[in-house]
Amino acid sequence: DPDLAVQGQYDCYFCRDIASLQGIGERNNEASLGELLLAFFHYYHAEFDIQRMVVSVRRGRPVTKLSKGWDKPRDKNRHVICIEDPFDVETDLGRYVDEQTLKDIVEEVGRAYRVLSEEGDWDKAMAAFTPPGQEAAPA
């Protein structure tokens, strides 16, 4: 298959025949796209354990920082928030995030959840990030 790509020891296959993927992954989920997005923001704001867990899209579930060896900072890899690169599983995509940036990310995810769940205002939820203590720029 010419679309098969191997990078080092990692299979980075990318399927270009989108029609062949129709129906894959369906689990009789009746939730709307909006409900799924709201659940995403809720999960990463209120349930995901940032201190102990790694986001793993490849596995479809979190794994522990300890199991990846990302439980302590190493060199420039801070491992404050860990996101496993699905194509290079030894790489933490969040490795350069510092504590202040993590605080901003958590606040923004929580704000998006609150705005969507309480007001249902997509534009407000997706507005540009304004650091705490700064005024939002006029539109």
Q: Could you read off the pLDDT of 58-110 as tens digits, one per residue?
A: 888 999 999 999 999 988 889 999 999 988 889 999 999 999 999 999 999 99
pLDDT at position 10, please? Answer: 67
Model confidence at 113, in pLDDT bands (50, 70, 90)? very high
pLDDT at position 95, please? Answer: 93
Range list of H helices, the chain: 33-42, 65-68, 99-118, 122-125
Give the pLDDT mean for 4-13: 67
Please give the model's pTM, rounded to 2 decimal places. Answer: 0.76
C-alpha angle 125-126-130 in degrees, rounded to nearest 5: 90
pLDDT at position 106, please? Answer: 93
**Is pLDDT of 1 > 50?**
no
